[in-house]
Amino acid sequence: MTGEPAVLHLTTTGRRTGRLREIEIWFTRRDGRWYLLAETGEHAQWVQNLRADPRVWWRVGDDRIAGTGRVVDPAREPDLVRAVRARSEAKYGWGDGLVVELLPGGDGERLAPPAPRASNRSG
């Protein structure tokens, strides 16, 4: 994982406002998917936005990707949760939180995020 950027910029759609919301967050990759950990779990505004509308966009370095996001259920996918947390622990020295998976849309096709500016205020 060396040489990989440290952060990902995730854009969700605000569940109340419909405005784009951007956060900067640590990430890991596994099997063509991207994984994030929500430190505050379901209380994270971006997680609540993603639950309301799973369409998301993210930037890592020069890559801009569109896809969908989902919260990984630890009861149904405990092996995946353990693997993602272990990768995060190896990369950042921290691996707690709610696991969220980002799946690129269009078979991994790289797409530009929507044009309006994103905000980091709650959704």
pLDDT over 90 at 87, yes or no:
yes
Which candidate, 3, 44, 12, places its Cα nearest to that of 116? Answer: 12
* Residue burial 101-114, b: 16+ Cβ < 10 Å; e: rest: bbebbeeeeeeebe
Domain-embedded: residue 93: yes
Which candidate, 26, 13, 107, 20, places its Cα nearest to that of 65? Answer: 107
Domain-embedded: residue 57: yes
Domain-embedded: residue 119: no
Report pLDDT digits (tens) over 91-102. 999 999 999 999
How many domains in the chain?
Answer: 1
| Terminal Cα-to-Cα distance of the chain (whole angstroms) | 32
Domain-embedded: residue 23: yes
Q: 11 is in which domain, residue-wise?
A: 7-104
Domain-embedded: residue 34: yes
Report pLDDT digits (tens) over 16-71. 999 999 999 999 999 999 999 999 999 999 999 999 999 999 999 999 999 999 99
Identify the DSSP state of 63: E
Cα–Cα distance, 19 to 12 (Å, whole number): 8
Say which CATH number the domain at 78 has: 2.30.110.10
Task: Tell me what the mean pLDDT of segment 3-13 comes to.
Answer: 94
